[in-house]
Amino acid sequence: MELFVATNNAHKLTELSPALPGHDLRLPAYAGIADFEVEEDGLTFLDNALKKALTLYRLTARPSIADDSGLDVRALGGAPGVLSARYGSSDGRTKLTAAERNEILLRNMAGHADRACAFVCCLVLVISEYRIFVVQETCPGELLYEPRGSGGFGYDPVVYLPGFGRTVAELSLEEKNRVSHRGRSCARMMAILGDLEARP
CA angle 22, 27, 33 (to 5 degrees): 145
Distance CA 155, CA 78 (A): 14
Of residues 35, 41, 67, 68, which has the active-site annotation? 68
Strands lying side by side in the sheet with 116-128: 24-26, 2-5, 64-73, 116-128, 131-143, 159-161, 166-167
Give the single-character DSSP code of 169: G
Residue 196 Ramachandran class (φ > 0 left, ψ -120 to 50 alpha, else beta): alpha
Distance CA 145, CA 116 (A): 12
In the annotation, is 114 catalytic?
Answer: no
Alpha helices (runs of H) in the chain, residue ranges in sequence order: 10-19, 45-60, 98-108, 173-179, 181-198
So which residues are the catalytic ones?
68
